[in-house]
């Protein structure tokens, strides 16, 4: 049974070895240019299975992802989710009445729209006959929305589905505990004054904000990530380099017009239409090095610059079977071939989901790292990404924690990883990131990255997800 990481075990030196090999020079991460585009190899074995329908991603869209407290701050999450559903239908020229089911993910729910999938669908003009439900699985909530739809399509319970997600960190629910309920029950003036005093005491003493710590461990994700970096010997400099790489690649992708999934959003009362992610800000190592640790003070290595930021945004994608797509005249972008969820110790391995999921899903499909042309890994923290790469490249970790007696599996090559930026730069609206990852993987394949892509993500609770995406013949 997997337990705590031994901070004194050889794993730390293994992590340092990986960093020395892949990031020896301070500019190595930035100079690792994305792999040259190449067409899908028609001679390569397809991952199609004769006993399963071919499930396809027709299209994926998202709002621009914005830092919380900026241009979206006066909206509701419903507004962003509705926009993603509406623009998806417009882009694909979809007859909304043919959709059989809608699933959306979210993490911190707006109490007015607890089933936001249903409310957003109605607001976007979808038929009131279309069932919709909302799922939550932390940072992989819209991954779960996608795979839930895949299950409906695979079993024939639905022919056309929409999966999506939304998160709105600009205005999160705040609890005033039971005092307000007591006020409603207070009949006499003395009772009302007494309860009013307790309410004022709650306000001055600090209201209860949504939990940012793991319920099972009472530790924040940032603190856990900092400890993970210490366990694997991930330096502050390596984290800053990776974060700078993410911002640099995202800025270049935006400049080159590669982030085609973005659907501009006109915010009421704001003069300019929002058309770009506003968290992409390439800086410098010098500027980043001046920031103080955000979680483990004063000696931690995670800062505001090498961690993902609180983000508002929504996403949606259209899924169906290949047979149905042909019948409806829809042109798919990619096949969604296989997926996997994993869970591990939430105390010391909270963010290692990709390290556990990557070997398992590839081996289940008879693949190796060399068969994958594009990797899209969720970037919660730069250190989390580097720790996962170190874990995959560690003989000690493979044998001690993954039960792989043959030793390490190996880490994805940097020139194939997150070549258009990632969550560190683009942003991470918890419930919407999964659809962004899958859509980006499909778009990278479509742009000539090759035939197969692997999506992987960590999530709160010590969970993880991986999915295999295959290019659709163009």
- Specify the 3-state DSSP secondary structure of 453: strand
SS3 of 59-95: the string is: EEEECCCEECCCCCCCCCHHHHHHHHHHHHHHHHCCC
CB 55 within 8 A of CB 324: no
Q: Is 139 a catalytic residue?
A: yes
The one catalytic residue in 149, 161, 440, 458 is 458
CB 392 within 8 A of CB 409: yes
Residue 284 CB neighbours (<10 A): 10
Burial class of residue 234, CB neighbours in 10 A (0-12, 13-18, 19+): buried
| Tokens 């270049």, located at residue | 252
Distances (CA, A) of 12 to 73, 146, 186: 42, 36, 60
Sheet strands (E) in 109-159: 132-135
Element (H, E) at 57: strand 55-62
Q: Which residues pair with 5 in a beta bridge?
A: none
Q: Which residues lie closer than 8 Å to 110 by C-beta, 6 or more apart? A: 76, 77, 78, 116, 168, 171, 173
Q: Is 161 a catalytic residue?
A: no
CB 328 within 8 A of CB 319: no
Burial 23-37 (b: 16+ CB within 10 A, else e): beeeebbbebebbee
The one catalytic residue in 139, 161, 317, 419 is 139
Instruction: For residues 52 and 287, give the distance between their C-alpha atoms in angstroms, rounded to a whole number.
Output: 52
Torsion, Cα of 297, 301, 303, 308 (10° steps)? -130
- CA atoms in the 13 A half-sphere facing the CB of 270: 15
Measured in whole angstroms, how far is the alpha carbon of residue 266 from the centre of its chain? 24
Of the candidates 396, 383, 336, the residue with the CA atom closest to the CA atom of residue 5: 396
Of the candidates 385, 348, 418, the residue with the CA atom closest to the CA atom of residue 33: 418
Which residues are marked as active site?
139, 458
């Amino acid at each position: 049974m997997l337990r705590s990481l031994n901070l004194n075990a050889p794993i730390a030196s293994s992590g340092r070895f990986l960093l020395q090999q892949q990031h020896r020079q301070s500019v190595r991460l930035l100079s690792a240019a994305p792999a040259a585009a190449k067409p899908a190899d028609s001679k390569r074995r397809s991952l199609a299975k004769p006993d399963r329908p071919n499930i396809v991603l027709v299209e994926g869209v998202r709002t621009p992802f914005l830092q919380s407290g900026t241009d979206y701050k006066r909206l509701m999450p419903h507004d962003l989710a509705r926009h993603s559903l509406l623009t998806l239908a417009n882009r694909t020229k979809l007859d909304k009445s043919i959709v059989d089911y809608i699933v959306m993910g979210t993490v911190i729910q707006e109490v007015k729209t607890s089933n936001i999938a249903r409310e957003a669908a109605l607001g976007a003009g979808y038929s009131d006959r279309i069932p919709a439900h909302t799922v939550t699985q932390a940072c992989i909530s819209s991954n779960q929305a996608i795979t839930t739809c895949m299950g409906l399509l695979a079993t024939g319970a639905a022919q056309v589905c929409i999966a999506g997600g939304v998160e709105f960190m600009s205005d999160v629910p705040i609890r005033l505990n039971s005092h307000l309920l007591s006020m409603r029950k207070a009949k006499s003036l003395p009772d009302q004054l007494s309860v009013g005093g307790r309410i004022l005491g709650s306000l001055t003493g600090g209201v209860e904000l949504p939990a940012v710590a793991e319920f099972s461990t009472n530790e924040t994700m940032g603190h856990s990530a900092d400890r993970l970096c210490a366990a694997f010997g991930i330096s502050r400099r390596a984290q800053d380099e990776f974060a700078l790489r993410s911002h640099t690649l995202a800025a270049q992708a935006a400049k080159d017009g590669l982030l085609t999934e973005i659907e501009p959003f006109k915010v009421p009362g704001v003069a300019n239409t929002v058309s770009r992610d506003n968290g992409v800000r390439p800086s410098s190592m010098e500027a980043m090095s001046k920031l103080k640790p955000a979680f483990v003070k004063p000696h931690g290595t995670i800062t505001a610059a090498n961690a993902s930021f609180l983000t508002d945004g929504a996403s949606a994608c259209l899924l169906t079977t290949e047979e149905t797509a042909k019948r409806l005249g829809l042109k798919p972008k990619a096949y969604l071939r296989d997926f996997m969820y994993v869970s591990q110790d939430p105390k010391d391995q909270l963010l290692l989901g990709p390290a556990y999921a990557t070997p398992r899903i590839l081996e289940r499909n008879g693949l190796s790292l060399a068969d994958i042309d594009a990797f899209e890994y969720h970037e919660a923290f730069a250190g989390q990404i580097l720790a996962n790469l170190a874990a995959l490249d560690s003989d000690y970790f493979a044998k001690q924690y993954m039960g792989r007696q043959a030793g390490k599996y190996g880490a994805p090559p940097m020139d194939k990883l997150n070549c258009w930026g990632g969550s560190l730069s683009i942003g991470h609206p918890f419930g919407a990131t999964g659809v962004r990852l899958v859509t980006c993987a499909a778009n990278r394949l479509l742009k000539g990255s090759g035939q197969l892509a692997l999506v992987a993500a960590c999530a709160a609770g010590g969970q993880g997800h991986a999915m295999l995406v295959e290019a659709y013949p163009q």
